[in-house]
Amino acid sequence: MSLRRALVALTTVLTTTVAILAAAVPAAAQAFPNGRTIKIVVPFAAGGGVDTLARMLAERMQAKLGTNVIVENRAGANGTIGGQSVQQSTPDGTTVLFSSNTHSMAKQVMLKPPYDPLTDFVSIARVGEAPLLTVMSTKMPQKTLGEVAAAAKANPDQWTAGTPALGSPGHIATIEFMRLTGTKLTVTPYRGTAPALTDVAGGHIQLLTDAMVVLLPMARDGKVKGMAITSSKRSSLAPDIPTAAESGVPGLEVISWYGVWGPPGIPADVVTTLNRAFADATRELAESGRLKELGVDPVYETPEGFAKFMAADVARNAELLKSVGFEPQ
């Protein structure tokens, strides 16, 4: 065999070997996301605050990562249907959960939770936080939360508060309202914010506390009454709506926060990539003013910092639930 033929043969063998080795490398070991579609699971019905923010982030991430980023709504079972679908997914970073602090409270509010949010998921990123808004049916005459408290004490059977899910920020705020005022409302969980808000507007239930982004438009249109926001100062989005303290319930300060989780076993480098991608998308939304329109303040946090924050938040809320004798359902 001539030297030239030998070199050609050797080159062919090397090229084939490299191709075989490249094909043998698992997709997860290649540069993430490597063109694969990323699915963000929202465990609530479309149209709520969590869903709105998730879709805004997905749009920005898609441009940054150069791959498809889609949002899938999987509502039900207090948000755990969507959560469980992520927990049981392949841990390659292509399926993640986007939710509010509702997700973190599943073990505290459910009688038989399908998982432990603190140990059965990988914390990826916390992206924002926001005060909540309490709205009331226009069929009710009260004008302040103080008046609501007085009426609820006199006739507790006439007052029902909706919540998007047990353990949601709105649920925690409702329990805190009852603790501070000594009232006992009937609390009814829904499959998301939108159906609960529809029932308040229709006068089927009296109160709802949840993200401003969803409740404020109907309050502005006069379909529900905007009663108070759960922060220490008024919001620039609705300067005419008082704080809870101004409305007669001092001490009612509860925030909603939004985070991203993945199934156990995701490689550390993929978690880092996702954390950076969500942070970049959040930064762009903040700089463009889009987050301000939602009443959301951006948060930039490492996965480790997020995990510590969530553990502390769960412990604090668990104590609140215990203080009012809440029983998991």
Q: What is the pLDDT of residue 115?
A: 97
Question: Does one domain contain both 271 and 295?
Answer: yes
Residues 269 and 122 in one domain: yes
What pLDDT band is residue 28 in, cutting at 50, 70 and 90? very low
Q: How far is Cα 80 from Cα 96, in angstroms, rounded to an integer? A: 13
Strands 38-42 and 69-73: parallel
- CATH number at 53 reads 3.40.190.150
Q: What is the mean pLDDT of residues 119-137?
A: 97
Evaluate whether residue 13 is within a structural domain: no
Q: Which tens digit of pLDDT belongs to each residue from 130-189?
A: 999 999 999 999 999 999 999 999 999 999 999 988 899 999 999 999 999 999 999 999
Q: What is the pLDDT of residue 9?
A: 52
Say how far apart CA 233 and CA 212 lie, in whole Å: 14
Q: What is the mean pLDDT of residues 258-269?
A: 97
Shared domain check, 260 and 231: no
In a domain, 6, yes or no: no
Which of 205, 234, 255 is where one domain is finished?
A: 255
Query: What pLDDT was estimated at residue 12?
Result: 52
Shared-domain flag, residues 233 and 150 = yes
Looking at 227, 255, 283, the residue that finishes a domain is: 255
From 200, 231, 255, the end of a domain falls on 255
Residues 78 and 193 in one domain: no
Domain check: are 225 and 87 in the same one? no
Question: Do residues 54 and 123 both lie within one domain?
Answer: yes
Q: Compute the distance between CA of residue 324 and CA of residue 176 in angstroms, rounded to an integer.
A: 9
Q: Assess whether 140 and 246 both reside in one domain.
A: yes
| pLDDT at residue 7, rounded to an integer | 46
Asked if the model's pLDDT at residue 237 lies above 70, the reply is yes
**Domain shared by 78 and 214, yes or no:** no
Separation of alpha carbons 78 and 61, rounded Å: 27
Mean pLDDT for the chain overall: 90
Asked if 299 and 128 count as a contact pair (C-beta separation under 8 A), the reply is yes
Which one, of 227, 293, 294, lies nearest residue 256 by Cα?
294
Residues 39-89: pLDDT tens digits? Answer: 999 998 888 889 999 999 999 999 889 999 999 999 989 899 999 999 999
Residues 227 and 301 in one domain: no
Amino acid code (one letter) for 182 = G
Mean pLDDT of 4-31: 49
How many folded domains does the chain comprise? 2
| Average pLDDT, integer, range 86-101 | 97
For residue 168, being part of any structural domain is answered with: yes
Radius of gyration of the chain (CA): 24
Res 2 pLDDT > 90: no
Domain span at 46: 31-129+256-323
> What's the pLDDT at 70?
98
**Domain membership flag for residue 20:** no
d(CA 102, CA 98): 11
Shared domain for 232 and 262, answered yes or no, is no
> In terms of pLDDT, which residue wins out, 3 or 165?
165
Do 151 and 246 have their domain in common? yes
CATH number at residue 143: 3.40.190.10
**Which secondary-structure segment (H or E) carries 104?**
none
Report CA-CA distances (Å) from 262 to 33, 49, 92, 121, 124.
Answer: 14, 20, 9, 6, 7
